[in-house]
């Protein structure tokens, strides 16, 4: 090969194609239109408000994230994967996407800096930004970084999850997962535990005798116990409106109706079944039905009963309960499902 056919590096770079500011602005406008109208999709970007977000004192994790108003940005979204894992607690689906942001468009034009932990909304779903990188592309002999690549995972916030099994299996075998993966992050998972207390025919190994004590100790956990058909018909709607995890105690099979269907169950409100000043009787679950017979017999003997049917076992701050505890003369009796065999 002759020397004249060999490539050699020029002494100076070629002159720029666009020298004036007007030409540069034109190229920038064309580039932006390609990004916005041809390549990119519209997403809503939710920056975390560090000022209004509560962080754990020890671990530094965000306990409750608060966000600034969403910002409309253009980006290229690519679906990466959707994995399905079957666990003892059910099926867990994880959806991942990658988002390519135009660096200059964000930082210069919109004064936005992408951070890990921020959220984006693509379509109807929310995704959390897990990792960030800035790929470098080689043009000639110059490295250029014009893209911010974000790896995102679909957030569980806003999903409504239902889990059900026998009470004894729920709070014993899966306690660590419930506490760390549901209660601590305050996810809206509704946990239905069937055959609580001694109602199970499976014997001592299947009796959930301390499930209330265990589940009450978990942060953010609400506890509801059904006592009749009206409670059962309303518990799903009640739990759905609670912004956090809920443990529901429920028996199986045919359940009697003790309360009118047109008088629905209300969260954190007990039902006053009888008025009296001698003894306060607080019952829940199937013990309410049995207690109604006892209160009638005591009333015939001249003993008045302040009888309340309680469905919300946590939080426990109903004003009717406070009134009952202060007005009676002789004492207070508590009956719930775990005591059913002894009463």
pLDDT in tens, 317-328: 788 888 888 888
Q: Which CATH class is domain 20-154?
A: mainly beta
Over range 50-79, report the average pLDDT.
78
Inter-residue contact 224 to 318 (CB < 8 Å): no
Over range 233-252, report the average pLDDT.
90
Q: What is the structure's pLDDT at 341?
A: 38
For residue 234, what are its two tokens?
Answer: 């309303």
SS3 59: coil
Over range 233-238, report the average pLDDT.
92
Beta bridge partners of 191: 163, 247
CA-wise closest residue to 265 among 296, 218, 225: 225
CA distances from 212 to 84, 224, 267, 291 (A): 32, 10, 17, 20
Instruction: Express each pLDDT in 139-154 by its tens digit.
Output: 544 455 667 888 888 8
Would you place residue 271 in the very low, low, confident or very high pLDDT band (cuts 50, 70, 90)? Answer: very high
Measured in residues, the chain has a length of 343
Instruction: Express each pLDDT in 175-195 by its tens digit.
Output: 888 898 888 888 888 999 888
Instruction: Tell me which residue has tokens 């979204």.
Output: 77
88 or 309, which is more confident? Answer: 309
Over range 294-312, report the average pLDDT.
88
Would you place residue 218 in the very low, low, confident or very high pLDDT band (cuts 50, 70, 90)? Answer: very high
Would you place residue 5 in the very low, low, confident or very high pLDDT band (cuts 50, 70, 90)? Answer: low
CA distances from 188 to 85, 94, 152, 223, 253 (A): 20, 17, 21, 13, 27
Q: Indicate the CATH number for domain 161-339.
A: 3.40.50
- State the burial class of residue 244 (Cβ atoms within 10 Å of its Cβ: 0-12, 13-18, 19+): middle
Q: What is the structure's pLDDT at 339?
A: 43
CA-wise closest residue to 41 among 95, 82, 78, 85: 78
> Cα angle vertex 90, ends 126, 239, to 5°?
65
SS3 107: helix
Over range 327-343, report the average pLDDT.
64
Residues of the chain with CATH 2.40.10: 20-154
Is the pLDDT at 118 greater than 60? The verdict is: yes
Is the pLDDT at 338 greater than 70? The verdict is: no
């Amino acid at each position: 090969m002759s020397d004249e056919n060999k490539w050699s590096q020029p002494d100076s770079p070629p002159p720029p194609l666009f020298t004036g500011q007007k030409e540069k602005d034109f190229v920038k406008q064309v580039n932006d239109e390609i990004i916005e109208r041809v390549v990119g999709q519209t997403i809503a970007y939710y920056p975390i408000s560090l000022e209004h977000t509560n962080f754990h004192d020890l671990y530094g994790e965000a306990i409750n994230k608060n966000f600034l108003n969403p910002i409309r940005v253009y980006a290229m979204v690519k679906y990466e994967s959707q994995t399905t894992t079957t666990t003892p607690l059910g099926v867990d689906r994880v959806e991942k996407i990658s988002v390519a942001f135009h660096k200059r468009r964000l930082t210069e034009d919109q004064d936005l800096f992408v951070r890990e932990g921020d959220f984006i909304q693509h379509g109807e779903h929310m995704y959390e930004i897990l990792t960030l990188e800035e790929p470098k592309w080689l043009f000639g002999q110059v490295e250029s970084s014009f893209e911010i690549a974000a790896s995102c995972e679909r957030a569980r916030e806003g999903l409504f999850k239902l889990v059900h099994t026998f009470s004894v299996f729920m709070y014993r075998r899966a306690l660590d997962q419930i506490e760390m993966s549901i209660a601590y992050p305050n996810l809206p998972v509704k946990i239905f535990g069937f055959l609580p207390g001694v109602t199970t025919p499976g014997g001592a190994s299947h009796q959930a005798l301390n499930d209330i004590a265990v589940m009450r100790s978990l942060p953010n956990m609400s506890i509801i116990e059904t006592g009749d058909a009206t409670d059962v018909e309303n518990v799903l709607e009640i739990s759905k409106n609670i912004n956090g995890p809920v443990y529901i105690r429920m028996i199986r099979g045919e359940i009697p109706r003790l309360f009118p269907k047109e008088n629905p169950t209300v969260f954190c409100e007990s039902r006053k079944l009888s008025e009296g000043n001698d003894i306060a009787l607080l019952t829940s679950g199937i013990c309410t039905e049995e207690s109604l017979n006892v209160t009638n017999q005591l009333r015939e003997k001249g003993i008045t009963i302040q009888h309340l049917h309680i469905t919300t076992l946590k939080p426990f701050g109903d004003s009717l309960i406070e009134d009952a505890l202060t007005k009676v003369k002789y004492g207070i009796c508590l009956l719930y499902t775990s005591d059913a065999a002894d009463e």
